[in-house]
Structure 1
Amino acid sequence: MARPRKRNRKENRFSIFLAVIVVILLTTMVGFKSIGLKQKRDQYLEEQTRLTKQIQKEEARSQEIAEYEKYTHTRKYIEEVARDKLGLIYEGEILFRNE
């Protein structure tokens, strides 16, 4: 029968040393990975802020376009277009031209 072999102190120290090295390496790897993830998160937050501002600008522009559309259906706008582009005037109105 084989006798169970006892571990001596040097083998125990070496095993503990290896375990400590493995834990340190894993901690270092997780630390570096978390730094990369934080940078990526910051980039995404900046992009989200930029896109939110762009959405607000586009919504304001959309509102301006809607207001302009309402304005184009008014009598005042029709008169302006008739005067400026078509040269039309009301009866009895006198037109002065600069030369």
Structure 2
Amino acid sequence: MSLQSRRMRKLQNSNRAGLLVVCLIVIVLGAAMAVGSASLRQKSSEYEQQKEALAAKIAGEQQRSLDLEDYQNYTKSKKFIEEMAKEKLGLVNPDEIIFKAQ
């Protein structure tokens, strides 16, 4: 075997080894990206569920705010004042007749 053919074989073997190393690195990086991508998709799904839950909670609190506003307006009305006076203080209008059970 000539010196030149030995050099060519060494060069081919080193090229193959280098190519193999590069392929392994690419495969490892691809696997790492796949795992990272799956993890990010899972987090994204969790955040989406959290977002929906918070949106529902906001809607409920907005409805509660409207209900409280309506109640506040009701407590300022004459009807509410009359009902509380009758219920708490036992007061009656002058034209009302009270029947008491014995």
User: 1:98 deviation in Å?
Assistant: 5.2
> Larger % of helix: which?
2
Q: Does residue 79 of the first structure (1) align with residue 86 of the second (2)? A: no
Aligned to 2:35: 32
Distance 1:22 1:97, change over 3 A: farther
Mark the CA change 1:62 to 1:98 in structure 2 (over 3 Å): closer, same or farther: farther
Q: CA RMSD in A?
A: 1.6
Residue among 12, 32, 42 paired with 2:45: 42
CA offsets per residue over residues 52-89 of structure 1, 9 Å max, x none?
A: 11000000000000001001111110110000111000
Give the fraction of aligned pairs with identical amino acids, expressed as a percent: 33
**Residue identity matched to 1:19:** V
Structure 2 residue 68 is the aligned partner of structure 1 residue 65: yes
Counterpart-to-counterpart distance in 1, 2:94 and 2:51: 58
Partner of 1:8, secondary structure, is helix
TM-score by length of 2: 0.86
Instruction: Name the aligned partner's letter for residue 57 of structure 2.
Output: Q
